[in-house]
């Protein structure tokens, strides 16, 4: 039927001079903006919106999409080099990417991230081409009970993020969950823990917490423990990946391209949850979980594959249903509406050229990203050889610019400093920050979906156990939480007997 013709006209659009030019400009702008600590796809797209007002809509969409996945692609850079994640989707990358860079292998870490991103991006675009029309039904399977179960599953990761004391990891997570309750409660409209301060009504932005707990805390540590870390990590290391590196990457890249894509389709889950779940599953699968958190190849590869795959996945509900699955795609949807494009179930039949054009251009865009990023790595990694005092002030400056650009509100800068201080104190007392940020990201959605489900079921809690998908995920979550505890108990018993 007509769909072949549609694909053909899409290919034509994507390979036209304008199509190639703008996808190139888009991914270049996106990847450069994404590399800045604190600036992610939302800011990148928001910057682009005014430029596209008078552009031809399909070309504008090609450009915007390029900016979007370009920013996700570049987002890992600041996580790896500076421990300053610019978007929630690259937090998990910093867990192993930053230790790797600290070890003097920044070039390798960036190369792994770039290749994994490329593979994740490309495989998922192929999946998008093959299955987009069919997958739109998956996008709507998830309702509040399923989301609640998914968040619970994600939170069980805390036990695997614990680096040392499990109790401290749990405390860190609880505080993170408490922090996310600040603001207007979505289900009643009541304000919670705002102390009458209007700046807190919308709650605390993820970026403030991430940059405070990771980047600023790291900066404090760098300034105060200056003597302990000298010189060593200035080297970039070789870009070349060994055969065993590729072997390590192939598993995560293969698995996470699919898993990330599917999680990306679910509205609300997106790149962040995909990257965390990608990280956790690989940690559970691998034979050497003890390497995770200390600069494991798989630990960089898994979240980077997953978050880029999820980015393509996010286009399924956006283009085939008109449903934005994340903050970024919501901004993208707004931009499309301005351009007179109304994404919805009929977009594919009404404007096949646009629908397929964007998808094909994403394939080209991913090639560009790899070509752009790989040769740049030695130069980007040189950031680390900037003298420490300058580097430290640059990180502070970029963190502040990133936070200020969310809402142009000076209050957020004070919050950033508070979280920076909190992050440093947590570090001193050996409380891991990762569970905090995970609970902060997942906790809000977990609470909201729990309460939505309870309202829908008239406060009948069995709603979570009667839906097969929700029940399945809760069981998996319960097992992944309880099994390690049982194992460690058995280990202790054994030791006691001996």
Partner 1 sequence: MKKTWLLFLALFTMIVLAACGSADSSSDEEESASGSSDENWKPDQSIEIVAPSSAGGGWDTTARMAAEGFEEEGIIDQGLGVVNKEGGGGAIGWSYVAEKSGNPHHLFVGSPPLLLVPLNGQSEYGYEDFTPLANMISDYGAFAVREDASWDNLNELFDDMKDNPDDITVIGESSPGSMDHIQFVKIAKAAGVDPKSVKYVSAQDGSTMTNLLNGNADVYSSGVTETIEQVRADKIRVLGVTSEERMEGDVVEDFPTAKEQGIDETFVNWRGFFGPPDMSEAEIAYYEEKFAELNESEHWQETREKFAWNEMYMESEEYKEFLSEEKESMQELLNELNIQGE
Q: Is 375 in the site for partner 1 (CB under 8 A)?
A: no
CA 483 → CA 7, 37, 432, distances in Å?
48, 38, 22
CA 433 → CA 103, 161, 449, distances in Å?
20, 9, 25
Minimum CB distance to partner 1 smaller for 93 or for 399: 399
User: Of the ranges 13-21, 26-34, 139-147, 257-265, which one interacts with partner 1 (CB under 8 A)?
Assistant: 139-147
Q: Is 486 in the site for partner 1 (CB under 8 A)?
A: no
Q: Give the angle 348-353-356 at the CA atoms, nearest 5°.
A: 65
| 139 contacts 323 by C-beta, under 8 angstroms | yes
What does the buried/exposed string (b/e) look like for 200-235 if buried means 16 or more CB atoms within 10 Å of the residue's CB?
Answer: beebbbbbbbbbbbbbbbbbbbbeeeeeeeeeebee
Residues in the chain: 498
Minimum CB distance to partner 1 smaller for 375 or for 389: 389
Minimum CB distance to partner 1 smaller for 186 or for 487: 186
Minimum CB distance to partner 1 smaller for 42 or for 300: 42
Lookup: tokens for 24 = 């190139």
The site map against partner 1 for 186-205 (x = CB under 8 A) is xxxx-x------xx-xx---
Q: Is 476 in the site for partner 1 (CB under 8 A)?
A: no
The site map against partner 1 for 61-100 (x = CB under 8 A) is ----------------------------------------
In angstroms, give the least distance from the CB of 30 to partner 1: 16
Phi and psi at residue 183, to the nearest 5°: 120, -170
Q: How many CA atoms lie within 13 A of 367 on its CB side?
A: 6
In angstroms, give the least distance from the CB of 151 to partner 1: 12
Phi and psi at residue 191, to the nearest 5°: -90, 140
The site map against partner 1 for 332-351 (x = CB under 8 A) is -xxx-xx-x-xxxxxx----
Q: Is 32 in the site for partner 1 (CB under 8 A)?
A: no
| 47 contacts 33 by C-beta, under 8 angstroms | yes
Cα–Cα nearest to 115, from 283, 22, 246: 246
Q: Is 120 in the site for partner 1 (CB under 8 A)?
A: no
The site map against partner 1 for 255-294 (x = CB under 8 A) is ------------xx--------------------------
Q: Which of 400, 418, 469, 476 binds partner 1 (CB under 8 A)?
A: 400
Q: Is 418 in the site for partner 1 (CB under 8 A)?
A: no
Phi and psi at residue 184, to the nearest 5°: -75, 130
User: Of the ranges 90-98, 108-116, 368-376, 410-418, which one interacts with partner 1 (CB under 8 A)?
Assistant: 410-418
Which DSSP helix (H) or strand (E) runs through 3? helix 2-15
| 251 contacts 288 by C-beta, under 8 angstroms | no
Q: Is 407 in the site for partner 1 (CB under 8 A)?
A: yes
The CA distance from 103 to 444, in Å, is 35
- Contacting residues toward partner 1, per CB under 8 A: 46, 49-50, 53, 139-144, 147, 184-189, 191, 198-199, 201-202, 219, 223-224, 226, 267-268, 317, 321-326, 330-331, 333-335, 337-338, 340, 342-347, 389, 392-393, 396-397, 400-401, 404, 407-410, 413, 417, 445, 448, 452, 455-456, 458
């Amino acid at each position: 039927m007509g769909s072949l013709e549609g694909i053909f006209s899409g290919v034509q659009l994507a390979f036209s001079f304008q199509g190639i030019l703008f996808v190139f400009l888009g991914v270049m702008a996106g990847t450069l903006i994404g590399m800045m600590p604190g600036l992610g796809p939302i800011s990148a797209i928001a910057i682009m919106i005014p430029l596209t007002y008078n552009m031809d809509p399909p070309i504008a969409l090609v450009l915007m999409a390029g900016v979007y996945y370009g920013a996700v692609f570049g987002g890992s850079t600041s996580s790896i080099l500076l421990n300053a994640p610019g978007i929630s989707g690259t937090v998990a990358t910093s867990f192993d990417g930053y230790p790797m860079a600290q070890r003097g292998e920044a070039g390798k870490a960036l190369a792994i991230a770039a290749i994994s991103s490329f593979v994740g991006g490309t495989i998922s675009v192929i999946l998008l081409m093959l299955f987009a029309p069919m997958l739109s039904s998956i996008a709507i399977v998830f309702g509040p009970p399923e989301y609640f179960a998914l968040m619970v599953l994600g939170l069980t990761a805390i036990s695997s993020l614990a680096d040392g004391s499990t109790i401290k990891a749990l405390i860190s997570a609880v505080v993170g969950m408490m922090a996310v309750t600040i603001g207007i409660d979505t289900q009643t409209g009541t304000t919670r823990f705002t102390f009458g301060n209007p700046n807190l009504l919308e709650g605390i932005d993820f970026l403030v917490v991430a940059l405070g707990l990771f980047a600023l805390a790291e900066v404090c540590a760098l300034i105060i423990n200056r003597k302990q870390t000298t010189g060593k990590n200035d080297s970039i290391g070789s870009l070349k990946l060994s055969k065993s590196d590729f072997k390590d990457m192939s598993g995560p890249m293969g698995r996470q391209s699919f898993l990330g894509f599917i999680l990306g389709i679910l509205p609300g889950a997106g790149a962040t949850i995909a990257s965390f779940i990608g990280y956790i599953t690989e940690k559970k699968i691998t034979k050497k979980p003890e390497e995770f958190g200390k600069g494991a190849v798989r630990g960089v590869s898994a979240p980077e594959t997953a978050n880029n795959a999820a980015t393509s996945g996010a286009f399924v509900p956006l283009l085939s249903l008109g449903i934005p699955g994340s903050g970024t795609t919501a901004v993208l949807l707004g931009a499309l509406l301005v351009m007179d494009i109304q994404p919805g179930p009929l977009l594919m039949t009404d404007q096949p050229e646009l629908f397929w054009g964007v998808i094909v251009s994403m394939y080209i865009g991913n090639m560009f990203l790899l070509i752009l990023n790989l040769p740049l790595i030695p130069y980007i990694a040189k950031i680390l050889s900037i003298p420490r005092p300058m580097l430290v002030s640059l990180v502070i400056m970029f963190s502040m610019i990133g936070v200020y650009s969310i809402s142009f509100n000076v209050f957020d800068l004070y919050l950033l400093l508070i979280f920076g201080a909190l992050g440093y104190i947590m570090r001193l007392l050996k409380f891991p920050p990762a569970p905090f940020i995970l609970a902060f990201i997942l906790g809000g959605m977990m609470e909201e979906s729990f309460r939505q489900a309870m309202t829908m079921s008239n406060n009948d809690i069995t709603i979570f156990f009667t839906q097969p998908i929700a029940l399945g995920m809760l069981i998996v979550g319960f097992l992944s939480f309880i099994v390690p505890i049982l194992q460690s108990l058995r280990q202790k018993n054994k030791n006691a007997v001996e």
